[in-house]
Amino acid sequence: MGESNVNLAALIGSRICHDLISPIGAITNGLELLDMAGGVQGPEMELISDSVDNAGARIRFFRIAYGASGEQSLGRSEVAGLLGDLSRTGRVKTHWGPVDAKPRGEIKLTFLALQCCETAMPFGGTVEVACDEGRWSVTGTADKLNIDPDLWQGLSKPGSGAPITPALVQFMLLPDVAAEMNRRVRVETTATQLTIRF
């Protein structure tokens, strides 16, 4: 993709997430005011509340995965909390292993890798994220995996994989962002498990 294009994509991602998080927050505040005032109760309000919570969690996730990284670090509670919010409404449950704060750029890589894993787990499963002396692994486990070999080959050999659609943009970004950080992506797969290392 090229360094300038990766940076431009990150800036666009940051801008979109920044502009969306405010109205989502306003809706959340409005729902809380309705609840305190004894407003409408029932499954309709519960559905709206759950949807807003899910949208807010997704935007926070996308802001890290697709936005500009910056120099700051993120602590375990913030990252694990965000992944926990996503896991409540999704088919894939994620377990964040690192206990200390990690650079946002490295977390960006793990989030892109997590999205790659999710594409191979249409019926759900679990993803374990681990870091050992700066070496990351993102491991997805499921009873049934759906792995497109051409698509996954593109992670370790950029430019050689399957055509990229909007739903698969993480497969293009992950190796490019990793290369900017002087890291190389490697993939290992079995019938029920896949691991992305960088």
Angstrom distance (rounded) from CA 188 to CA 11:
31
Question: Backbone phi, then psi, for 114, in 5-degree steps?
Answer: -60, -40
Angstrom distance (rounded) from CA 17 to CA 28:
16
Would you place residue 102 in the very low, low, confident or very high pLDDT band (cuts 50, 70, 90)? Answer: very high
Q: Report the pLDDT value the prediction gives residue 15, as an integer from 0 to 100.
A: 78
Number of Cβ atoms within 10 Å of the Cβ of 127: 24
**Is pLDDT larger for residue 53 or for residue 176?**
176
Res 2 pLDDT > 60: no
Domain boundaries, the chain: 3-197
Interval 21-33: pLDDT, tens: 777 777 777 777 7
Asked if 132 and 160 touch (Cβ cutoff 8 Å), the reply is: no
Burial class (CB in 10 A: 0-12, 13-18, 19+), 173: buried
Interval 125-169: pLDDT, tens: 999 999 999 999 999 999 999 999 989 999 998 777 678 888 999
pTM for the model stands at 0.85
Alpha helix positions (H), the chain: 3-36, 43-66, 76-89, 104-119, 149-156, 169-180
Among 3.30.565.10, 1.10.490.10, 3.90.1150.10, 3.50.50.60, what is the CATH number of 3-197?
Answer: 3.30.565.10
